[in-house]
Structure 1
Amino acid sequence: MPPTEALEDQRAAITGHCYRMLGSAIDAEDAVQETMLRAWRSLDRFEARASVRTWLHRIATNVCLDMLARQQRRTRPIIDGPVGTVDDPLEARDRSHWIEPIPDAWVLGGAPDPAERMSSRESIRLAFVTTLQQLPPKQRAALLLTEVVGLSAAEAADTLETSLASINSAVQRARAKLSQAAPEQSQTANDSLSATQAQLVDRFVLAFESYDVDALTALMHEDATLCMPPYTLWLRGRDSIGSWLRGHGIGCRGSRLIATAACGAPAFGQYRPDPAGGHRPWALVVLELRGGAIDEMISFLDTEALFPKFGLPDALPPTD
């Protein structure tokens, strides 16, 4: 029978697996809790010939498949509809419609090996998780169990209660889908940013907090994108993003940023000025870097749900 510590040692790995399956940190947290509960209830039936890691991933996979059977597929604005303009009306969708970010600390804390941490970080990138959500749930599970978790095809077949041939076929189809929509190699896939990347992020903070729109957009690729879940609107290009920031987004002037990390990328809690004093939560901003510039700026506006997960304060006091 595995000790309690053996179960807890796998929490980060199980959290990452559930996040890749479900595309939501909030749903992943629920799935991990249910996984641990099921594991506790069946401890007396644990068979030592399987590792605790394999056993927990089997339970977690089935928990996630049960949840996915009751949910719609999550997506992102850049996948959900055509590029918009600054004059388009804002239309919001329920949070269950969108892929949501996950704190790096939830996923990477249990991977002391640098190569394992890098692999884990790359596989929680928003672009990768977005592609995963386009796969049918069992095909998604087959790919993750074999390609990310490292189970054998036979172990994956046992987990999904299917044949070895079916697993091999599912993985082959999933690989083909990923190759068609594979995100470009991340520039933030290592444990720490390079000196150039760190300078880029520092310049972003300086430009955003001083609300120098010209300096801010100069840090972006010409075809960079901006989106703001739960809104469906997304924009492409420096000019459109600059127009938005000077127009509808002008309320962000005077914001303060608190650094964090999400989905293997630099991220910030954004706080807008509060008329009553200090600053109030506005967005969790995630940056995707490509080369020496910002490729995507994603502002998740559901701060009530997300900020507690990232340990971000619910307000910032006035500065002296």
Structure 2
Amino acid sequence: MSKVFPAGPDLDRARAGDDDAFTRLVEPLRRELHAHCYRMLGSAHDADDALQDALLRAWRGLAGFEGRSSLRSWLYSVATRTCLDVVQRRGRRALPVDLGPASDHAVLADAALTDVAWLGPYPDAGLSGPGARYEQREAVELAFVAALQHLPGNQRAALVLFEVLGFAVAEIADIMNTTATSVNSALARARRIVAEKVPAATQQQTLRMIDDARLREVVSGFATALERGDADTMVALLTEDVTWSMPPLPSWYAGRSPVMDFVRAVPFRCGSWRHLPTSANAQPAVACYLWDEAAGVHAAWAVNVLDLRDGLIAGVTSFQGVEHFTRLDLPASLP
């Protein structure tokens, strides 16, 4: 017989139509449900919309919740189905590496591609602290979320629900309205694809091996090198196989020499920079502000999310656009 979870007073009140009671029920789970939607969709904006839609569906369908699972499990079921509907309508999000080969020299006339659904950064403020699960921080890292985008919706959902959230195969089959055999098959395919695209060591594992002083040195060195146009400092911070991409620009660079050719030709020549250290996707990041003569301020330009390896920078993803600063609760300008 299935275990029946007892209904609390707020659940009874919510079923009776009490909005406040429903809010109290879902508020402690809102942040983790939002992160789940981001993993599935690759966009914090899409996660906003999906979570809002999922909670509306849950509110309307609360009478059908029989308590045979926890409310948390049931809400994840609703959120997952909502995200699968979005995936079916919109497809996947991309990074420049998904669109074509790396450029071996700086592309000066690179134009933004507005018809591409780009992967976006994720604010990780709610994923730190003693209550945050290590696996859930790993599961918002850029490499993992980008790899998920290469999976069909059913494989994406199965992998996240099983590997990240710890749902049983039978529970996932129920959520996705399929069989346990289909779930196991989806998991096997998903694991193969993700293993090909995600580095063996996660950023969480890497960061745990770097002492705080070295991490501060790398982040501040990166920012200082950009502000001063210091090529020697920048080169010393990069791995030989470093990559640099700048969505929504399609060009990207692989290898220290092409990356430095780009850095010397573009960021070093753009004008006066200022920077703020931050974090995104549970990774160190640097927010870049470029001098705007007309406004008389350094204006938000790009959020650089850093991938580290062996105490050096192995990847830079520069997310251009003030909307990313707003999402990460960063100022739109610096005096």
Same-fold call, TM cutoff 0.5: yes
- The farther-off stretch of 249-258 and 152-161 is 249-258
What does residue 275 of structure 2 align with? 257
| Separation of aligned partners in 1, 2:116 and 2:49 | 14
What does residue 16 of structure 2 align with? none
| Separation of aligned partners in 2, 1:155 and 1:31 | 21
**2:163 pairs with one of 113, 131, 147:** 147
**2:120 pairs with one of 100, 106, 110:** 100
What does residue 309 of structure 2 align with? 290
How far the C-alpha of 1:180 sits from its partner, in A, is 2.4
How far the C-alpha of 1:264 sits from its partner, in A, is 1.3
How far the C-alpha of 1:186 sits from its partner, in A, is 2.8
How far the C-alpha of 1:259 sits from its partner, in A, is 2.1
What does residue 149 of structure 2 align with? 133
| Separation of aligned partners in 1, 2:66 and 2:211 | 45
Equivalent AA in structure 1 for residue 162 of structure 2: T
| Separation of aligned partners in 1, 2:91 and 2:229 | 38
| Separation of aligned partners in 2, 1:127 and 1:145 | 18
> Deviation digits for residues 56-91 of structure 1, max 9, x if unmatched?
110111111111111132121123210113354414
What stretches of structure 1 move > 6 A for 4+ residues in a row? none
How far the C-alpha of 1:125 sits from its partner, in A, is 1.0
Q: Do the aligned residues in 1 keep the contact of 2:144 with 2:198 (CA within 8 Å)? A: yes
Whose Rg is larger? 2
SS in 2 for 1:70: helix
**1:278 pairs with one of 297, 300, 310:** 297
| Separation of aligned partners in 1, 2:280 and 2:319 | 11
How far the C-alpha of 1:219 sits from its partner, in A, is 0.2
Q: Do the aligned residues in 2 keep the contact of 1:223 with 1:295 (CA within 8 Å)? A: yes
| Separation of aligned partners in 2, 1:244 and 1:230 | 16
> Deviation digits for residues 149-171 of structure 1, max 9, x if unmatched?
11111110000000111111111
Q: Is residue 11 of structure 1 aligned with residue 27 of structure 2?
A: no
1:1-320 matched pairs, under 5 angstroms: 2=11, 3=21, 4-88=23-107, 89-94=109-114, 96-106=116-126, 108=127, 112-113=130-131, 116=133, 118-189=134-205, 194-195=211-212, 196-276=214-294, 277-303=296-322, 305-317=323-335
| Separation of aligned partners in 1, 2:115 and 2:334 | 25
Aligned residues: 312
SS in 2 for 1:99: coil
SS in 2 for 1:250: helix
Equivalent AA in structure 1 for residue 53 of structure 2: E
Question: Structure 1 residues 91, 274: closer, same or farther in 2, change over 3 A?
Answer: closer
| Separation of aligned partners in 2, 1:191 and 1:293 | 14
- Could you tell me which runs of 5 or more consecutive residues in structure 2 were left unpaired when the two chains were aligned: 1-6, 12-20
> Deviation digits for residues 263-290 of structure 1, max 9, x if unmatched?
1111122100111322111111111111
Question: Structure 1 residues 146, 165: closer, same or farther in 2, change over 3 A?
Answer: same
- The farther-off stretch of 77-86 and 190-199 is 190-199
Equivalent AA in structure 2 for residue 199 of structure 1: E
| Separation of aligned partners in 1, 2:165 and 2:259 | 38
RMSD of Structure 2 on Structure 1 (CA): 2.0
What does residue 3 of structure 2 align with? none
